[in-house]
Structure 1
Protein backbone atom coordinates (compact mmCIF):
# COMPACT_ATOMS: atom_id res chain seq x y z
CA UNK A 1 0.00 0.00 0.00
CA UNK A 2 1.53 3.31 -1.08
CA UNK A 3 0.56 5.87 1.53
CA UNK A 4 0.11 9.59 0.97
CA UNK A 5 -0.02 11.58 4.20
CA UNK A 6 -1.67 14.97 4.61
CA UNK A 7 -0.41 16.82 7.65
CA UNK A 8 2.78 17.03 9.71
CA UNK A 9 1.57 17.25 13.29
CA UNK A 10 2.06 15.20 16.44
CA UNK A 11 -0.09 12.27 15.30
CA UNK A 12 1.89 11.83 12.07
CA UNK A 13 5.18 11.82 13.98
CA UNK A 14 3.88 9.16 16.32
CA UNK A 15 2.51 6.93 13.58
CA UNK A 16 5.80 6.89 11.64
CA UNK A 17 7.38 4.04 13.68
CA UNK A 18 4.23 1.94 13.19
CA UNK A 19 4.17 2.47 9.43
CA UNK A 20 7.86 1.71 9.17
CA UNK A 21 7.71 -1.57 11.06
CA UNK A 22 5.30 -3.06 8.51
CA UNK A 23 6.61 -3.69 5.01
CA UNK A 24 3.05 -3.40 3.73
CA UNK A 25 2.99 0.38 4.24
CA UNK A 26 5.23 2.22 1.78
CA UNK A 27 5.59 5.89 2.68
CA UNK A 28 5.18 7.47 -0.74
CA UNK A 29 4.40 11.15 -0.10
CA UNK A 30 3.69 13.71 2.60
CA UNK A 31 1.96 17.03 2.02
CA UNK A 32 1.76 20.17 4.12
CA UNK A 33 1.20 23.87 3.61
CA UNK A 34 4.53 24.90 5.10
CA UNK A 35 7.70 23.47 3.60
CA UNK A 36 9.74 24.14 6.72
CA UNK A 37 7.47 21.78 8.68
CA UNK A 38 7.27 18.90 6.23
CA UNK A 39 10.94 19.01 5.25
CA UNK A 40 11.69 17.17 8.50
CA UNK A 41 10.14 14.06 6.88
CA UNK A 42 12.27 14.11 3.71
CA UNK A 43 14.14 10.95 4.74
CA UNK A 44 10.95 9.11 5.70
CA UNK A 45 8.98 9.49 2.45
CA UNK A 46 9.81 9.21 -1.24
CA UNK A 47 9.02 12.89 -1.49
CA UNK A 48 7.48 15.81 0.38
CA UNK A 49 5.51 18.59 -1.26
CA UNK A 50 3.36 21.66 -0.69
CA UNK A 51 1.49 20.87 -3.92
CA UNK A 52 -1.65 18.93 -2.95
CA UNK A 53 -2.53 18.13 -6.57
CA UNK A 54 0.80 16.34 -6.95
CA UNK A 55 -0.23 13.83 -4.28
CA UNK A 56 -3.79 13.40 -5.59
CA UNK A 57 -2.52 13.00 -9.18
CA UNK A 58 0.20 10.53 -8.20
CA UNK A 59 -1.15 7.25 -9.60
CA UNK A 60 1.15 5.25 -7.33
CA UNK A 61 -0.55 6.62 -4.18
CA UNK A 62 -3.21 4.11 -3.11
CA UNK A 63 -4.37 5.53 0.21
CA UNK A 64 -4.52 9.02 1.68
CA UNK A 65 -4.15 9.38 5.45
CA UNK A 66 -5.60 12.66 6.73
CA UNK A 67 -3.95 13.96 9.90
CA UNK A 68 -5.15 17.57 9.63
CA UNK A 69 -7.13 19.74 12.08
CA UNK A 70 -10.65 18.43 12.75
CA UNK A 71 -12.52 21.00 10.68
CA UNK A 72 -10.56 20.06 7.53
CA UNK A 73 -11.18 16.31 7.58
CA UNK A 74 -14.34 16.37 5.48
CA UNK A 75 -13.15 18.61 2.65
CA UNK A 76 -9.77 16.91 2.18
CA UNK A 77 -11.23 13.40 2.47
CA UNK A 78 -13.83 14.26 -0.16
CA UNK A 79 -11.17 15.55 -2.53
CA UNK A 80 -9.14 12.38 -2.02
CA UNK A 81 -12.14 10.14 -2.75
CA UNK A 82 -13.00 12.13 -5.85
CA UNK A 83 -9.39 11.60 -6.96
CA UNK A 84 -9.94 7.84 -6.66
CA UNK A 85 -7.97 7.30 -3.46
CA UNK A 86 -8.87 5.13 -0.49
CA UNK A 87 -9.01 7.25 2.67
CA UNK A 88 -8.02 6.86 6.32
CA UNK A 89 -9.21 9.83 8.39
CA UNK A 90 -7.85 10.56 11.84
CA UNK A 91 -10.48 10.81 14.58
CA UNK A 92 -12.85 12.58 14.86
CA UNK A 93 -13.96 11.47 11.41
CA UNK A 94 -15.81 14.71 10.65
CA UNK A 95 -17.44 17.62 12.45
CA UNK A 96 -21.06 16.80 11.52
CA UNK A 97 -23.13 13.70 10.86
CA UNK A 98 -24.07 14.92 7.40
CA UNK A 99 -20.42 15.25 6.40
CA UNK A 100 -19.60 11.78 7.70
CA UNK A 101 -22.56 10.20 5.94
CA UNK A 102 -21.63 11.86 2.65
CA UNK A 103 -18.04 10.60 2.77
CA UNK A 104 -19.06 7.06 3.63
CA UNK A 105 -21.68 6.98 0.88
CA UNK A 106 -19.17 8.40 -1.61
CA UNK A 107 -16.73 5.66 -0.70
CA UNK A 108 -19.40 3.00 -1.27
CA UNK A 109 -20.37 4.57 -4.59
CA UNK A 110 -16.78 4.58 -5.82
CA UNK A 111 -15.90 1.21 -4.22
CA UNK A 112 -13.19 2.82 -2.13
CA UNK A 113 -12.27 2.12 1.48
CA UNK A 114 -13.09 4.86 3.98
CA UNK A 115 -11.74 4.29 7.48
CA UNK A 116 -11.69 6.28 10.69
CA UNK A 117 -8.34 5.91 12.48
CA UNK A 118 -9.58 5.22 16.00
CA UNK A 119 -7.48 2.81 18.05
CA UNK A 120 -10.31 1.89 20.46
CA UNK A 121 -12.37 -0.11 17.95
CA UNK A 122 -9.37 -2.28 17.02
CA UNK A 123 -7.78 -2.73 20.45
CA UNK A 124 -7.29 -6.43 21.18
CA UNK A 125 -8.47 -6.23 24.80
CA UNK A 126 -11.60 -4.37 23.72
CA UNK A 127 -12.43 -7.04 21.14
CA UNK A 128 -11.56 -9.89 23.51
CA UNK A 129 -13.86 -8.84 26.34
CA UNK A 130 -16.94 -8.15 24.20
CA UNK A 131 -18.14 -11.79 24.15
CA UNK A 132 -18.08 -11.82 27.96
CA UNK A 133 -20.36 -8.80 28.39
CA UNK A 134 -23.47 -10.91 28.98
CA UNK A 135 -21.84 -12.41 32.08
CA UNK A 136 -22.15 -9.13 34.00
CA UNK A 137 -25.91 -9.06 33.49
CA UNK A 138 -28.21 -6.14 32.83
CA UNK A 139 -26.13 -2.98 32.46
CA UNK A 140 -26.96 -0.27 34.98
CA UNK A 141 -24.13 2.28 34.83
CA UNK A 142 -21.23 3.20 32.52
CA UNK A 143 -18.72 5.55 34.13
CA UNK A 144 -15.59 6.80 32.42
CA UNK A 145 -12.88 9.43 32.76
CA UNK A 146 -10.30 10.45 30.14
CA UNK A 147 -8.49 13.40 31.73
CA UNK A 148 -5.11 14.41 30.37
CA UNK A 149 -3.63 17.82 31.10
CA UNK A 150 -2.65 19.20 27.72
CA UNK A 151 0.77 20.73 27.29
CA UNK A 152 -0.96 23.14 24.91
CA UNK A 153 -3.42 24.35 27.58
CA UNK A 154 -0.93 26.69 29.30
CA UNK A 155 -0.08 28.26 25.94
CA UNK A 156 -3.80 28.62 25.22
CA UNK A 157 -4.30 30.56 28.46
CA UNK A 158 -1.34 32.75 27.51
CA UNK A 159 -2.99 33.60 24.20
CA UNK A 160 -1.41 31.13 21.77
CA UNK A 161 -4.26 29.28 20.08
CA UNK A 162 -3.13 25.98 18.57
CA UNK A 163 -5.51 23.65 16.66
CA UNK A 164 -6.27 21.55 19.76
CA UNK A 165 -7.97 24.60 21.35
CA UNK A 166 -9.08 26.46 18.24
CA UNK A 167 -12.86 26.79 18.13
CA UNK A 168 -12.72 27.61 14.41
CA UNK A 169 -11.02 24.26 13.77
CA UNK A 170 -13.42 22.25 15.97
CA UNK A 171 -10.90 21.91 18.77
CA UNK A 172 -11.69 21.17 22.40
CA UNK A 173 -11.98 18.24 24.78
CA UNK A 174 -15.12 16.66 23.31
CA UNK A 175 -13.67 16.41 19.80
CA UNK A 176 -10.40 15.00 21.10
CA UNK A 177 -10.40 12.84 24.23
CA UNK A 178 -14.17 12.59 24.23
CA UNK A 179 -14.12 10.72 20.92
CA UNK A 180 -12.40 7.75 22.56
CA UNK A 181 -14.92 7.54 25.39
CA UNK A 182 -17.78 7.67 22.91
CA UNK A 183 -16.29 5.02 20.64
CA UNK A 184 -15.74 2.73 23.63
CA UNK A 185 -19.37 3.09 24.72
CA UNK A 186 -21.12 3.24 21.35
CA UNK A 187 -19.06 0.32 20.06
CA UNK A 188 -20.68 -1.80 22.77
CA UNK A 189 -24.18 -0.38 23.06
CA UNK A 190 -24.93 1.47 19.82
CA UNK A 191 -26.60 4.84 19.45
CA UNK A 192 -28.11 6.25 22.68
CA UNK A 193 -31.61 7.67 22.98
CA UNK A 194 -30.43 10.89 24.58
CA UNK A 195 -27.21 12.94 24.50
CA UNK A 196 -26.34 15.79 26.87
CA UNK A 197 -23.02 17.59 27.22
CA UNK A 198 -22.08 19.85 30.14
CA UNK A 199 -18.80 21.61 29.26
CA UNK A 200 -16.43 23.90 31.11
CA UNK A 201 -15.82 26.69 28.61
CA UNK A 202 -12.81 28.96 28.25
CA UNK A 203 -12.77 31.55 25.45
CA UNK A 204 -15.41 29.65 23.49
CA UNK A 205 -13.73 26.24 23.79
CA UNK A 206 -14.74 23.27 25.93
CA UNK A 207 -11.52 22.53 27.81
CA UNK A 208 -13.32 19.83 29.80
CA UNK A 209 -16.81 18.50 30.27
CA UNK A 210 -19.18 15.70 31.25
CA UNK A 211 -21.11 13.80 28.58
CA UNK A 212 -24.26 11.93 29.60
CA UNK A 213 -25.69 9.26 27.31
CA UNK A 214 -29.17 7.95 28.01
CA UNK A 215 -29.73 4.33 27.00
CA UNK A 216 -33.10 4.00 28.69
CA UNK A 217 -32.36 1.16 31.12
CA UNK A 218 -28.96 2.58 31.98
CA UNK A 219 -26.97 5.80 31.77
CA UNK A 220 -23.39 6.56 30.80
CA UNK A 221 -21.40 9.42 32.37
CA UNK A 222 -18.19 10.19 30.49
CA UNK A 223 -15.65 12.84 31.51
CA UNK A 224 -13.18 14.34 29.05
CA UNK A 225 -10.67 16.90 30.23
CA UNK A 226 -7.68 18.72 28.76
CA UNK A 227 -7.45 21.30 31.56
CA UNK A 228 -6.93 18.90 34.49
CA UNK A 229 -5.58 15.44 35.18
CA UNK A 230 -6.87 12.37 37.00
CA UNK A 231 -6.54 8.58 36.76
CA UNK A 232 -8.26 7.37 33.59
CA UNK A 233 -10.68 4.45 33.51
CA UNK A 234 -13.97 3.11 32.21
CA UNK A 235 -16.27 0.99 34.39
CA UNK A 236 -19.28 -0.90 33.05
CA UNK A 237 -21.50 -2.01 35.92
CA UNK A 238 -24.08 -4.76 35.58
CA UNK A 239 -26.37 -6.59 38.00
CA UNK A 240 -24.02 -9.61 38.06
CA UNK A 241 -20.65 -7.87 37.96
CA UNK A 242 -18.55 -5.24 36.22
CA UNK A 243 -15.97 -4.69 33.51
CA UNK A 244 -13.19 -2.43 34.73
CA UNK A 245 -10.76 -0.80 32.28
CA UNK A 246 -7.83 0.69 34.18
CA UNK A 247 -6.51 2.93 31.42
CA UNK A 248 -7.66 5.45 28.87
CA UNK A 249 -10.35 4.48 26.37
CA UNK A 250 -7.69 4.94 23.70
CA UNK A 251 -5.09 2.58 25.15
CA UNK A 252 -7.48 -0.07 26.63
CA UNK A 253 -4.38 -1.46 28.39
CA UNK A 254 -6.12 -3.93 30.66
CA UNK A 255 -9.70 -4.92 31.34
CA UNK A 256 -10.80 -6.87 34.38
CA UNK A 257 -14.12 -8.70 34.64
CA UNK A 258 -15.20 -8.94 38.29
CA UNK A 259 -18.35 -10.97 38.91
CA UNK A 260 -20.49 -10.90 42.04
CA UNK A 261 -19.77 -14.61 42.66
CA UNK A 262 -16.05 -13.90 42.96
CA UNK A 263 -14.94 -14.91 39.46
CA UNK A 264 -12.26 -12.63 38.02
CA UNK A 265 -10.90 -12.64 34.47
CA UNK A 266 -8.28 -10.29 33.02
CA UNK A 267 -7.78 -9.21 29.43
CA UNK A 268 -4.30 -7.86 28.67
CA UNK A 269 -2.47 -7.80 25.34
CA UNK A 270 0.92 -7.02 26.88
CA UNK A 271 1.60 -4.15 24.49
CA UNK A 272 3.19 -1.08 26.04
CA UNK A 273 2.15 2.44 25.14
CA UNK A 274 -0.81 3.96 23.38
CA UNK A 275 0.86 4.14 19.99
CA UNK A 276 2.13 0.58 20.36
CA UNK A 277 -1.52 -0.39 20.74
CA UNK A 278 -2.28 1.46 17.49
CA UNK A 279 -0.57 -1.34 15.57
CA UNK A 280 -3.83 -3.32 15.80
CA UNK A 281 -5.77 -0.81 13.71
CA UNK A 282 -3.10 -0.60 11.00
CA UNK A 283 -2.91 -4.40 10.82
CA UNK A 284 -6.68 -4.53 10.37
CA UNK A 285 -6.60 -1.79 7.70
CA UNK A 286 -4.03 -3.91 5.87
CA UNK A 287 -6.16 -7.05 6.12
CA UNK A 288 -9.34 -5.38 4.87
CA UNK A 289 -7.46 -3.73 2.02
CA UNK A 290 -5.75 -6.93 0.85
CA UNK A 291 -8.89 -9.06 1.17
CA UNK A 292 -11.11 -6.34 -0.29
CA UNK A 293 -13.29 -6.80 2.80
CA UNK A 294 -15.79 -4.00 2.31
CA UNK A 295 -18.30 -5.77 4.57
CA UNK A 296 -16.08 -5.26 7.64
CA UNK A 297 -15.22 -1.74 6.52
CA UNK A 298 -18.90 -0.82 6.31
CA UNK A 299 -19.55 -2.27 9.79
CA UNK A 300 -16.89 0.02 11.20
CA UNK A 301 -18.44 2.86 9.19
CA UNK A 302 -21.75 2.29 11.02
CA UNK A 303 -20.01 2.72 14.37
CA UNK A 304 -18.37 5.89 13.06
CA UNK A 305 -21.78 7.26 12.09
CA UNK A 306 -23.20 6.50 15.55
CA UNK A 307 -20.24 8.29 17.13
CA UNK A 308 -20.66 11.23 14.76
CA UNK A 309 -24.32 11.46 15.76
CA UNK A 310 -23.38 11.59 19.45
CA UNK A 311 -20.71 14.24 18.84
CA UNK A 312 -23.11 16.45 16.92
CA UNK A 313 -25.93 16.08 19.45
CA UNK A 314 -23.52 16.77 22.31
CA UNK A 315 -22.17 19.89 20.62
CA UNK A 316 -25.70 21.10 19.85
CA UNK A 317 -26.85 20.54 23.44
CA UNK A 318 -24.00 22.73 24.69
CA UNK A 319 -24.14 25.29 21.84
CA UNK A 320 -20.47 24.72 21.00
CA UNK A 321 -19.49 27.39 18.46
CA UNK A 322 -17.71 25.16 15.93
CA UNK A 323 -21.08 23.98 14.59
CA UNK A 324 -21.91 27.47 13.36
CA UNK A 325 -22.05 27.76 9.57
CA UNK A 326 -21.98 23.99 9.11
CA UNK A 327 -24.93 22.07 7.71
CA UNK A 328 -26.33 19.75 10.38
CA UNK A 329 -28.39 16.60 10.24
Structure 2
Protein backbone atom coordinates (compact mmCIF):
# COMPACT_ATOMS: atom_id res chain seq x y z
CA UNK A 1 0.00 0.00 0.00
CA UNK A 2 3.05 2.29 0.26
CA UNK A 3 2.95 2.75 -3.52
CA UNK A 4 -0.72 3.75 -3.32
CA UNK A 5 0.15 6.29 -0.62
CA UNK A 6 2.92 7.81 -2.70
CA UNK A 7 0.86 8.00 -5.87
CA UNK A 8 -2.21 9.35 -4.09
CA UNK A 9 -0.25 12.09 -2.34
CA UNK A 10 1.41 13.40 -5.52
CA UNK A 11 -1.41 15.76 -6.53
CA UNK A 12 -1.64 17.77 -3.29
CA UNK A 13 2.14 17.80 -2.93
CA UNK A 14 2.51 19.30 -6.42
CA UNK A 15 -0.17 21.99 -6.18
CA UNK A 16 1.25 25.29 -7.41
CA UNK A 17 -1.39 27.67 -6.06
CA UNK A 18 -4.65 27.90 -4.12
CA UNK A 19 -6.49 27.93 -7.45
CA UNK A 20 -6.18 24.14 -7.58
CA UNK A 21 -7.68 23.50 -4.14
CA UNK A 22 -11.28 23.17 -5.30
CA UNK A 23 -10.47 19.93 -7.13
CA UNK A 24 -9.26 18.16 -3.98
CA UNK A 25 -12.59 16.50 -3.01
CA UNK A 26 -13.05 15.01 -6.49
CA UNK A 27 -9.49 13.70 -6.46
CA UNK A 28 -9.97 12.02 -3.07
CA UNK A 29 -13.31 10.53 -4.13
CA UNK A 30 -11.66 8.94 -7.19
CA UNK A 31 -8.95 7.44 -4.98
CA UNK A 32 -11.51 6.01 -2.54
CA UNK A 33 -13.63 4.56 -5.35
CA UNK A 34 -10.60 2.91 -6.95
CA UNK A 35 -9.41 1.39 -3.67
CA UNK A 36 -12.84 0.02 -2.81
CA UNK A 37 -13.14 -1.56 -6.27
CA UNK A 38 -9.82 -3.29 -5.61
CA UNK A 39 -11.24 -4.76 -2.39
CA UNK A 40 -9.14 -2.70 0.02
CA UNK A 41 -10.76 -2.74 3.46
CA UNK A 42 -12.30 0.32 5.10
CA UNK A 43 -9.58 1.19 7.66
CA UNK A 44 -6.86 1.01 5.00
CA UNK A 45 -8.86 3.23 2.63
CA UNK A 46 -9.47 5.71 5.45
CA UNK A 47 -5.73 5.71 6.23
CA UNK A 48 -4.91 6.54 2.60
CA UNK A 49 -7.47 9.38 2.67
CA UNK A 50 -5.82 10.76 5.79
CA UNK A 51 -2.39 10.58 4.13
CA UNK A 52 -3.66 12.47 1.09
CA UNK A 53 -5.19 15.14 3.33
CA UNK A 54 -1.94 15.26 5.32
CA UNK A 55 -0.05 16.01 2.11
CA UNK A 56 -2.47 18.82 1.29
CA UNK A 57 -2.14 20.30 4.77
CA UNK A 58 1.65 20.28 4.57
CA UNK A 59 1.46 22.05 1.23
CA UNK A 60 -0.73 24.77 2.74
CA UNK A 61 1.61 25.20 5.70
CA UNK A 62 4.57 25.45 3.31
CA UNK A 63 2.77 28.22 1.38
CA UNK A 64 1.91 30.02 4.60
CA UNK A 65 5.45 30.00 5.96
CA UNK A 66 6.81 31.11 2.59
CA UNK A 67 4.47 34.12 2.66
CA UNK A 68 4.94 35.01 6.32
CA UNK A 69 8.64 34.32 6.62
CA UNK A 70 10.47 31.90 8.93
CA UNK A 71 8.59 30.95 12.11
CA UNK A 72 9.75 32.86 15.21
CA UNK A 73 10.01 29.55 17.11
CA UNK A 74 9.33 25.87 16.39
CA UNK A 75 5.68 24.88 16.02
CA UNK A 76 3.47 21.85 15.42
CA UNK A 77 0.28 21.75 13.39
CA UNK A 78 -1.95 19.19 15.09
CA UNK A 79 -4.90 17.29 13.67
CA UNK A 80 -7.67 16.16 16.00
CA UNK A 81 -10.53 13.74 15.37
CA UNK A 82 -10.67 11.38 12.41
CA UNK A 83 -7.59 12.90 10.76
CA UNK A 84 -5.70 12.57 14.03
CA UNK A 85 -6.70 8.89 14.14
CA UNK A 86 -6.01 8.44 10.38
CA UNK A 87 -9.62 7.33 9.85
CA UNK A 88 -10.97 9.84 7.36
CA UNK A 89 -13.90 9.39 5.01
CA UNK A 90 -15.40 11.59 2.29
CA UNK A 91 -17.45 13.60 4.79
CA UNK A 92 -15.23 15.48 7.21
CA UNK A 93 -14.80 18.95 8.63
CA UNK A 94 -11.78 20.66 10.14
CA UNK A 95 -10.37 19.66 13.54
CA UNK A 96 -6.96 21.15 14.18
CA UNK A 97 -4.74 23.30 16.40
CA UNK A 98 -1.42 25.11 16.24
CA UNK A 99 1.06 24.71 19.08
CA UNK A 100 4.31 26.67 19.30
CA UNK A 101 7.30 26.77 21.63
CA UNK A 102 6.82 29.10 24.57
CA UNK A 103 9.51 31.48 23.33
CA UNK A 104 7.28 32.21 20.33
CA UNK A 105 4.50 33.68 22.47
CA UNK A 106 5.78 37.21 21.96
CA UNK A 107 5.22 36.68 18.22
CA UNK A 108 1.78 35.10 18.52
CA UNK A 109 0.49 37.28 15.65
CA UNK A 110 2.68 35.27 13.24
CA UNK A 111 1.06 32.02 14.32
CA UNK A 112 -2.43 33.53 14.25
CA UNK A 113 -1.81 34.62 10.66
CA UNK A 114 -0.57 31.16 9.67
CA UNK A 115 -3.60 29.51 11.27
CA UNK A 116 -6.00 31.90 9.51
CA UNK A 117 -4.42 31.29 6.11
CA UNK A 118 -4.38 27.52 6.43
CA UNK A 119 -7.92 27.26 7.83
CA UNK A 120 -9.28 29.45 5.02
CA UNK A 121 -7.45 27.40 2.39
CA UNK A 122 -8.84 24.18 3.86
CA UNK A 123 -12.37 25.56 3.46
CA UNK A 124 -11.59 26.21 -0.21
CA UNK A 125 -10.33 22.62 -0.48
CA UNK A 126 -13.65 21.24 0.74
CA UNK A 127 -13.14 21.02 4.52
CA UNK A 128 -15.93 22.99 6.26
CA UNK A 129 -15.20 24.81 9.49
CA UNK A 130 -15.68 22.76 12.64
CA UNK A 131 -19.11 23.53 14.16
CA UNK A 132 -17.51 23.36 17.60
CA UNK A 133 -14.76 25.82 16.67
CA UNK A 134 -11.92 23.30 17.08
CA UNK A 135 -9.69 25.00 14.53
CA UNK A 136 -6.20 26.46 14.68
CA UNK A 137 -7.39 30.03 14.14
CA UNK A 138 -9.26 29.71 17.45
CA UNK A 139 -6.96 27.18 19.09
CA UNK A 140 -3.34 28.28 18.88
CA UNK A 141 -0.97 28.94 21.72
CA UNK A 142 2.26 28.04 23.52
CA UNK A 143 3.14 24.46 24.36
CA UNK A 144 2.86 25.09 28.11
CA UNK A 145 -0.84 25.95 27.68
CA UNK A 146 -1.56 22.65 25.94
CA UNK A 147 0.43 20.75 28.57
CA UNK A 148 -1.69 22.35 31.32
CA UNK A 149 -4.81 21.51 29.32
CA UNK A 150 -3.78 17.85 29.14
CA UNK A 151 -3.00 17.78 32.86
CA UNK A 152 -6.38 19.30 33.69
CA UNK A 153 -8.15 16.63 31.59
CA UNK A 154 -6.64 13.97 33.82
CA UNK A 155 -6.79 15.68 37.21
CA UNK A 156 -10.21 17.31 36.83
CA UNK A 157 -11.75 14.92 34.31
CA UNK A 158 -13.15 16.59 31.23
CA UNK A 159 -14.15 13.74 28.95
CA UNK A 160 -14.89 15.93 25.93
CA UNK A 161 -11.53 17.71 26.00
CA UNK A 162 -9.74 14.44 26.73
CA UNK A 163 -11.35 12.89 23.63
CA UNK A 164 -10.01 15.76 21.54
CA UNK A 165 -6.48 15.58 22.94
CA UNK A 166 -6.26 11.79 22.75
CA UNK A 167 -6.93 11.86 19.00
CA UNK A 168 -4.04 14.20 18.25
CA UNK A 169 -1.36 13.79 15.58
CA UNK A 170 1.33 16.22 14.44
CA UNK A 171 1.10 16.85 10.71
CA UNK A 172 3.58 19.69 10.17
CA UNK A 173 6.30 21.48 12.09
CA UNK A 174 9.05 20.12 14.30
CA UNK A 175 8.00 21.04 17.83
CA UNK A 176 8.22 17.94 20.08
CA UNK A 177 4.98 17.12 21.90
CA UNK A 178 6.36 14.65 24.45
CA UNK A 179 5.25 16.86 27.36
CA UNK A 180 1.62 16.58 26.25
CA UNK A 181 2.01 12.82 25.78
CA UNK A 182 3.42 12.46 29.31
CA UNK A 183 0.43 14.19 30.91
CA UNK A 184 -2.10 12.14 28.95
CA UNK A 185 -0.27 8.92 29.81
CA UNK A 186 -1.30 9.47 33.44
CA UNK A 187 -4.86 8.89 32.27
CA UNK A 188 -4.25 5.13 32.18
CA UNK A 189 -4.55 5.10 35.97
CA UNK A 190 -7.18 7.83 36.27
CA UNK A 191 -10.32 5.83 37.06
CA UNK A 192 -12.57 8.91 37.15
CA UNK A 193 -11.44 9.99 33.68
CA UNK A 194 -11.99 6.48 32.31
CA UNK A 195 -15.43 6.44 33.95
CA UNK A 196 -16.45 9.71 32.29
CA UNK A 197 -15.02 8.66 28.92
CA UNK A 198 -17.12 5.49 29.14
CA UNK A 199 -20.26 7.50 29.92
CA UNK A 200 -19.68 9.57 26.78
CA UNK A 201 -19.26 6.38 24.76
CA UNK A 202 -22.50 4.90 26.07
CA UNK A 203 -24.59 7.94 25.12
CA UNK A 204 -24.47 6.80 21.47
CA UNK A 205 -26.13 3.50 20.69
CA UNK A 206 -27.60 1.62 17.73
CA UNK A 207 -31.38 1.53 17.27
CA UNK A 208 -33.03 -1.77 18.15
CA UNK A 209 -33.52 -4.33 15.35
CA UNK A 210 -37.26 -4.33 16.10
CA UNK A 211 -37.55 -0.58 15.50
CA UNK A 212 -35.60 -0.91 12.26
CA UNK A 213 -37.78 -3.78 11.04
CA UNK A 214 -41.04 -1.94 11.77
CA UNK A 215 -40.10 1.49 10.46
CA UNK A 216 -40.84 1.81 6.75
CA UNK A 217 -37.89 3.34 4.89
CA UNK A 218 -35.80 3.16 8.07
CA UNK A 219 -32.56 5.12 8.05
CA UNK A 220 -29.51 4.68 10.24
CA UNK A 221 -26.62 7.04 10.89
CA UNK A 222 -23.58 4.82 10.41
CA UNK A 223 -21.36 7.23 12.32
CA UNK A 224 -23.60 8.04 15.27
CA UNK A 225 -25.20 4.60 15.67
CA UNK A 226 -22.21 2.39 14.92
CA UNK A 227 -18.78 3.85 14.32
CA UNK A 228 -18.74 6.50 17.05
CA UNK A 229 -19.62 4.08 19.88
CA UNK A 230 -16.81 1.80 18.73
CA UNK A 231 -14.31 4.64 18.34
CA UNK A 232 -15.22 6.11 21.75
CA UNK A 233 -14.98 2.80 23.60
CA UNK A 234 -11.71 1.91 21.84
CA UNK A 235 -10.32 5.26 22.97
CA UNK A 236 -11.36 4.50 26.54
CA UNK A 237 -10.06 0.92 26.60
CA UNK A 238 -6.91 1.95 24.78
CA UNK A 239 -6.14 4.64 27.34
CA UNK A 240 -6.65 2.15 30.15
CA UNK A 241 -4.08 -0.03 28.39
CA UNK A 242 -1.65 2.92 28.12
CA UNK A 243 -2.29 3.93 24.49
CA UNK A 244 -2.55 7.73 24.45
CA UNK A 245 -3.05 8.04 20.68
CA UNK A 246 -3.43 5.90 17.58
CA UNK A 247 -6.03 4.36 15.33
CA UNK A 248 -9.09 2.58 16.63
CA UNK A 249 -7.69 -0.80 15.60
CA UNK A 250 -4.36 -0.03 17.30
CA UNK A 251 -6.21 0.87 20.49
CA UNK A 252 -8.18 -2.38 20.34
CA UNK A 253 -4.93 -4.30 19.94
CA UNK A 254 -3.37 -2.46 22.89
CA UNK A 255 -6.43 -3.33 25.00
CA UNK A 256 -6.17 -7.00 23.97
CA UNK A 257 -2.48 -7.17 24.84
CA UNK A 258 -3.12 -5.56 28.22
CA UNK A 259 -5.94 -7.97 29.01
CA UNK A 260 -8.58 -5.21 28.99
CA UNK A 261 -10.30 -7.00 26.07
CA UNK A 262 -10.58 -10.74 25.57
CA UNK A 263 -9.32 -12.24 22.33
CA UNK A 264 -12.88 -13.06 21.25
CA UNK A 265 -14.16 -9.54 21.98
CA UNK A 266 -11.17 -8.03 20.19
CA UNK A 267 -11.88 -10.14 17.10
CA UNK A 268 -15.61 -9.41 16.83
CA UNK A 269 -15.24 -5.70 17.61
CA UNK A 270 -12.48 -5.32 15.04
CA UNK A 271 -14.59 -7.11 12.43
CA UNK A 272 -17.60 -4.87 13.19
CA UNK A 273 -15.47 -1.74 12.94
CA UNK A 274 -13.97 -2.78 9.60
CA UNK A 275 -17.41 -3.59 8.21
CA UNK A 276 -19.02 -0.32 9.35
CA UNK A 277 -16.20 1.86 8.06
CA UNK A 278 -16.19 0.06 4.72
CA UNK A 279 -19.98 0.39 4.44
CA UNK A 280 -19.79 4.10 5.24
CA UNK A 281 -17.18 4.68 2.53
CA UNK A 282 -19.13 2.66 -0.06
CA UNK A 283 -22.34 4.53 0.74
CA UNK A 284 -20.56 7.87 0.37
CA UNK A 285 -19.10 6.88 -3.00
CA UNK A 286 -22.55 5.73 -4.19
CA UNK A 287 -24.04 9.06 -3.16
CA UNK A 288 -21.41 10.98 -5.14
CA UNK A 289 -21.95 8.76 -8.18
CA UNK A 290 -25.68 9.55 -7.95
CA UNK A 291 -24.93 13.28 -7.90
CA UNK A 292 -25.70 13.64 -4.19
CA UNK A 293 -23.46 14.88 -1.36
CA UNK A 294 -21.83 12.20 0.80
CA UNK A 295 -23.60 11.53 4.08
CA UNK A 296 -23.41 9.27 7.11
CA UNK A 297 -27.10 8.25 6.96
CA UNK A 298 -28.24 5.32 4.82
CA UNK A 299 -31.62 3.77 4.11
CA UNK A 300 -31.76 0.10 5.00
CA UNK A 301 -33.77 -0.69 1.86
CA UNK A 302 -30.99 0.83 -0.26
CA UNK A 303 -28.47 -1.71 1.04
CA UNK A 304 -27.82 -5.09 -0.51
CA UNK A 305 -29.05 -8.02 1.62
CA UNK A 306 -25.51 -8.97 2.77
CA UNK A 307 -24.92 -5.35 3.79
CA UNK A 308 -28.16 -5.23 5.80
CA UNK A 309 -27.30 -8.48 7.53
CA UNK A 310 -23.78 -7.29 8.25
CA UNK A 311 -25.06 -3.98 9.61
CA UNK A 312 -27.46 -5.65 12.05
CA UNK A 313 -24.71 -8.03 13.12
CA UNK A 314 -22.32 -5.11 13.74
CA UNK A 315 -24.99 -3.29 15.76
CA UNK A 316 -25.36 -6.36 17.98
CA UNK A 317 -21.61 -6.30 18.59
CA UNK A 318 -21.78 -2.62 19.56
CA UNK A 319 -24.59 -3.27 22.04
CA UNK A 320 -22.76 -6.23 23.62
CA UNK A 321 -19.59 -4.20 24.05
CA UNK A 322 -21.49 -1.28 25.54
CA UNK A 323 -23.13 -3.59 28.07
CA UNK A 324 -19.76 -5.03 29.12
CA UNK A 325 -18.20 -1.56 29.26
CA UNK A 326 -21.02 -0.21 31.44
CA UNK A 327 -20.22 -2.90 34.01
CA UNK A 328 -16.43 -2.58 33.63
CA UNK A 329 -16.39 1.19 34.14
CA UNK A 330 -19.22 1.19 36.69
CA UNK A 331 -21.54 3.51 34.78
CA UNK A 332 -24.74 1.72 35.77
CA UNK A 333 -25.36 3.47 39.08
For Structure 1 versus Structure 2, the TM-score category normalised by the shorter chain is under 0.3
What is the TM-score of this pair, normalised by structure 2? 0.26
Higher strand proportion (structure 1 or 2) = 1
Higher helix proportion (structure 1 or 2) = 2
What is the TM-score of this pair, normalised by structure 1? 0.27
